[in-house]
Amino acid sequence: MENNVLSAISPINVRFSEVDSMNVVWHGNYAMYFEDAREEFGRKYGLSYMLIHGHGYFAPLVDLSFSYKRPLLYGMKSEIAIFYRPTDSAKLVFDYEIRDPETSEIFVTGHSVQVFMNEQYQLSWVNPDFFEQWKKRWGIEQ
**Residue 133 main-chain phi, psi, to 5 deg:** -65, -40
Q: Beta partners for 46?
A: none
Domain containing residue 15: 7-133
Q: Is the dihedral of CA 21, 24, 29, 33 positive or negative?
A: positive
Note the pTM of the prediction, 2 decimals.
0.93
Indicate whether 140 belongs to any domain. Answer: no
CB 4 within 8 A of CB 139: yes
Q: Beta partners for 94?
A: 84, 112
- How do residues 17-37 score in pLDDT, each as one tens digit? 999 999 999 999 999 999 999
Q: What is the CATH number of the domain that holds 92?
A: 3.10.129.10
The DSSP 8-state label assigned to residue 125 in this structure reads S
* Mean of pLDDT over the chain: 94
For the chain, give the percent of residues with pLDDT over 90: 94
Structural domains in the chain (count): 1
